[in-house]
Amino acid sequence: MSEMPSSARVVIIGGGVVGCSVAYHLAKLGWSDVVLLERKRLTSGTTWHAAGLIGQLRATANMTKLAKYSADLYGSLEEETGVATGFRQTGSISAALTEERREELFRSAAMARAFGVPVEELTAAEIKARYPHLNIDGVTGGVWLPSDGQGDPANIAQALAKGARMRGAQVREGVKVTGIARTGRRVTGVDWTAEDGATGHIACEAIVNSAGMWGHEVGRMAGVTVPLHACEHFYIVTEGIEGLGTLPVLRVPDECAYYKEDAGKILLGAFEPNAKPWGMEGIPESFEFDQLPEDFDHFEPILEAACNRMPLLAEAGIHTFFNGPESFTPDDAYHLGLAPEMDNVWVACGFNSIGIQSAGGAGMALSQWMEDGARPFDLGDVDIARMQPFQGNRHYLFERSKETLGLLYADHFPYRQKATARGVRRTPFHAHLLERGAVMGEIAGWERANWFAEAGQEREYRYSWKRQNWFENAAREHRAVREGVGMYDMSSFGKIRVEGPDAESFLNHICGADLAVAPGRIVYTQFLNETGGIEADVTVTRLSETAYLVVTPAATRRADQAWMARHVGEARVVLTDVTAGEGVLAVMGPKARDLMARVSPADLTNAAHPFGHAVEIEIGMGLVRAHRVSYVGELGWELYVSADMAGHVFETLWEAGQDVGLKLCGMHMMDSCRIEKAFRHFGHDITCEDHVIDAGLGFAVKTDKPAFIGRDAVLRRKETGPKTRMVQFLLQDPEPLLYHNEPIVRDGEIVGYLSSGNYGHTLGGAVGMGYVPSFGESAADVLGSTYEIDVMGVRVAATASLRPLYDPKAERAKA
C-alpha cells in the first residue's frame, strides 16, 4: 500500500456511490486535500447490486432538482472520465390500479409541470401502446416521464471516483475508519486500520459520513445520531426473453412492483408493505459484495401478482434471486448536511433505495454547503437536523424500518400518518385527549391530536385524495374557534430557554426583530441568514431581564437550537430545551375570555392583558403563564403550565368549558385557520431560500436596531423591491381540494406552485399560498392578473390576495 496521508482537509468515510459523489464534487470545487477511505472495495456495500432506476420526479421542487441533476450528470460522466455509466434515457411509466392512485399520479403530473419535468398523463390503452407486454386489466391510468432513465450503479460510482481522482482526490480502498477523535464540538481526525493490519491517524478539518448502512455506527464514533436501519431488499432477474425489445421502466405501485428491462431480461423489484429489518446485531466485519439468503416465501405474493400483470414472466425462467441490504430512515428521506451535535461532521447516508438517482444531486448540494458554510437552497426535506435524538434508538428504528421500505410505493395520501413505532413522545394531556375522542397524528415522535371523533365514530383515518372521513369534524372544530371557543394542545411546539447576561444582545444578533423589550413582551420574529433567507420562524417571550423563551415548530426545535448554538460565539448565554417541562393549551375563539373568567380571577381585559404580552395567572388551584397570541387569528391565550399541574389545569378548563360550549380541537383545525389568516408555515411557505421581504414578513424586521445577521440583505431587498411575492389564493369553486405543489397559473402561464394548501371552512373553499415572481412589479400589477390553480390537470379559477383574506386588519385577535 502506498503511504497514507497524515492530514487532510476532509476525510470521506465510505466509498459507495454517495461517498464517491461527494469526493467528485468537492474536488470539482477545487478542494485539493480530499481523502476517501473505503473499508473494502468501492461499491462493495449496497451500491454494487442496485437495480439502477434513475427517476426524476420527487415530492418537492428541490428534491426533483437534485434528481434531475443526477440524471444530467450521469449522462455526461462517460465523456468526462472514460468510464461507461450505462446511463440510458428509457423513460418511465407508472400505472395505477385504483381511482385514488390515478388521482395521485395525475396530481404528481401537475406538479411535474410546475417543476419543469416533462410528463404526460396516459389512459390504460396508451400505456399498452408503450408497454405491449402489460396486462392492463384494472389499470385506471398512468403517467409517462420521458426523461427518466436507468444506469449501471457500480460504474456510475467508479466514474465519480475516477473524476475525483483526476482532480487530485485520494481514494483509498481496504482502509477502515476505526475511531474518530474529537475536541468539544469538532472532530480532529480519524484512526484507520488497513486490511494488511497497518494502522494510522489522519488529522482533518472535517469528515463526511457516507457509510451507507454503517452510517449509524460511524455516527456514534463521531458523537452524532444518524437514524437509519438496514432492511432486506429484493429483486429477481429473469433469463433472457426472446423478442422483449427495449422497454421503459415500469412501476405498478399498487402491486408493490417495478420492472426494468436490461439486455433482454426483466428485473422485477419489490417494495413490499412489511419489510424485513436486517443487521440488528451489527453488520458482519467480512461483508463485501455480499448478498443475504433468499426468502422466496416473502417475495412470492409480488411475483404472483407480477405474473398476472406481465404474463410473459410466468414463462420466463428466473436467473437470479437477489436479496441485498439497504438502509432506511424513519421518514423515508435521506440524511444530508451538518450534524446538529457537531460543527464539522457532515452526513450523507440513509438513501432509502433511491441512492443511485440521488447521489449526484446530494453530492453536489453537500459539497456546495461545505464550501459556502451555508445551504445552497432549502434542503429541509433531508437535512439531518430534522431528526430527533431519540430516533437513534435501535428498537425504534427496527420497528419503523419495517414500514418505511413499503412507503415508497404506498399511496402517498395527504395527512398519511406512520403506523409503526408510535407513542414515543406524549404530551401531559395525552390521556385526557384520548378519553375525549382524539385521533392522533405524529410529528418528530410527538403524538398530537389531529382531530376529534364524535361519540360512536370510528377513530381512524380513512385516507383519500377527496374529503377524508374527518373533514366535517375539522369543519366543526374550525367553526368553534371562529364563532365560540375551542381548546387544543400545543405542547409539542419546541421551547428553548435562552438565559444569561447576554441573552438580549445574543437574540438581537440572530433575530430580525428587536428583542430589547420589557419583560412579558412576546415578539414574532425570524432567524435570518446572510442572504435574508429565513432559517427559523419563532415567537420569543421575554421572561425576565436575563431570560427568554423561544417557541419553535415541533419539527424544527432541534435545527433551531443548533442554529442558535452555532452563533453563540463569546456570548454569555445558556440554551436549554424545556419542551417537555411545560404543557401548552391554546384557548381560542370569541368566547375565550368568557371561559377564562370562569377559571381565573385575573383581569384579562385588553387594558390589563393586551395582545402580545405574557403574564402569570391563576387557573383553578394552579399557576400558568398566559401568552396573549394566536396562530388561528382569534381572541385567545396560549396557556403554558408546568407538566405537574397540566392535568389539573386541563380538567379545570374542561369542566368550566361545558357552560360555554368549549370544543376540543386538533391540528387540522389549526392549519385550516392559519391558512385563512395567511400565516406562513415554516418549511413550506418560508425556508432558508425565501427572502424575508419576498415572504411578506418585512414588518417583523427592525433594521434600525444594532447589526444582526441578514440586515444588509434586508436593506438591499428593500431598495430593489421583492423578486417574488407570497400570494394567498382562494379557489372559486368550493369543491376541489388543495394540498401543496399545485401549479399557479398566471394569465395562462405556469409561474410557480403552492407552498401550502388546506380547506378554509370560513372562506368557503380551498386556500393555497405560493410565490409569484414579481420583480419590478407593484402590488397592483400582481393582483391585476387572473389566476388559476392546476388541480390534477384542471385549471380552477382563484381569487388572489396579498393581504389575509380572513380578517385582513387583524382585529379579531385583539378583540
Ligand X SMILES: Cc1cc2nc3c(=O)[nH]c(=O)nc-3n(C[C@H](O)[C@H](O)[C@H](O)COP(=O)(O)OP(=O)(O)OC[C@H]3O[C@@H](n4cnc5c(N)ncnc54)[C@H](O)[C@@H]3O)c2cc1C
Binding site for ligand X (CB under 6 A): 13-19, 37-40, 43-47, 49-53, 153, 176-177, 210-214, 218, 233, 235, 269, 324, 326, 349, 351, 353-357
| CB count in 10 Å sphere of residue 252 | 23
User: Quick one: which of 403, 151, 400, 153 has its CA closest to 271?
Assistant: 403
Rg for the chain, CA atoms, rounded: 27
Q: Please report how close the Cβ of residue 393 comes to ligand X at its closest, in angstroms.
A: 21
**Is residue 477 helix, strand or coil?**
helix
**Least distance from ligand X to the Cβ atom of residue 31, Å:** 19
- Of 474, 468, 542, 537, nearest to 504 (Cα)? 542
Name the residue with cell 429483486. Answer: 235
CB of 14 to ligand X, least distance (A): 3
Please give the distance of CA 125 from its chain centroid, rounded to a whole number. Answer: 36
Compute the residue count for the chain: 815
Strands (E), 547-697: 547-552, 574-577, 582-588, 614-619, 622-627, 636-642, 663-664
**Cβ 324 to ligand X, closest distance in Å?**
4
Q: How far is the CB of 192 from ligand X (least distance, A)?
A: 8
Instruction: Tell the residue number behind the cell numbers 417543476, with chain if given.
Output: 115
Say whether 258 sits in a helix, a strand or coil. Answer: strand
Cα separation, 179 vs 201, whole angstroms:
9
- Please, which residue, 66 or 585, has the CB nearer to ligand X? 66
- CA atoms of 457 and 454, how far apart (whole Å): 5
Q: Which is nearer to ligand X, 287 or 611 (CB)?
A: 287
Cα separation, 628 vs 630, in Å, equals 7
Looking at the Cβ atoms of 147 and 541, the one nearer to ligand X is: 147
| Shortest reach from residue 511's CB to ligand X, in Å | 37
Query: Cα–Cα distance between 47 and 737 in angstroms, integer?
Result: 40
Q: How far is the CB of 543 from ligand X (least distance, A)?
A: 45
- CA pair distance 619, 621, nearest whole angstrom: 6
Min dist CB 258 to ligand X, Å, is 8
**What span, in angstroms and rounded, lies between the C-alpha atoms of 614 and 639?**
9
Are the CB atoms for 85 and 17 separated by under 8 Å?
Answer: no
Rounded Cα gap, residues 743 and 771, in angstroms = 11
Query: Strands 92-96 and 249-252, how do they pair?
Result: parallel
Which residue's CB is nearer to ligand X, number 350 or number 636? 350
**Residue placing its CB nearer to ligand X in the complex, 148 or 514:** 148
Q: Residue 22 or 745: which CB sits closer to ligand X? A: 22
CB of 191 to ligand X, least distance (A): 10
CB of 677 to ligand X, least distance (A): 41
Closest contact distance (angstroms) between CB of 780 and ligand X is 47
With a CB cutoff of 8 Å and minimum separation 6, the contacts of 755 are 681, 684, 685, 740, 769, 770, 771
Assess contact for 418 and 409: CB atoms under 8 A: no
CA distance linking residue 231 with residue 773, whole number of Å: 44
Give 674's strand partners.
none
342 vs 766, beta carbon nearer ligand X: 342
Give min distance, CB of 806 to ligand X, in A: 44
Residue 337 or 612: which CB sits closer to ligand X? Answer: 337
The secondary structure of 787-806 as a DSSP string is: EEEEETTEEEEEEEESS-SS
Minimum CB distance to ligand X smaller for 20 or for 813: 20
Cell of 136: 392492463
Closest to ligand X by CB, 44 vs 552, is 44
Nearer to ligand X, 84 or 194 (CB): 194
The residue among 38 and 788 lying less far from ligand X, judged by its C-beta, is 38
Q: Choose among 814, 813, 749: nearest CA to 787.
A: 749
Judged by beta carbon, residue 67 or residue 584, the one nearer ligand X is 67
In sequence order, the 6+-apart residues with CB closer than 8 A to the CB of 424 are 390, 396, 445
Tell me whether residue 354 or residue 585 sits nearer to ligand X (CB atom).
354
CB atoms inside a 10 Å sphere around CB 422: 15
In whole angstroms, how close is the CB of 60 to ligand X at the nearest point? 17
Grid cell, residue 574, equals 445558556
State the minimum distance, in angstroms, from the CB of residue 557 to ligand X.
Answer: 27
CB of 347 to ligand X, least distance (A): 11
Residue 369 has φ and ψ, to the nearest 5°, of -65, -45
- Toward ligand X, which CB reaches closer, 39 or 668? 39
587 CB neighbour count, 10 Å cutoff: 26
Cα–Cα dist 295/201, whole Å? 42
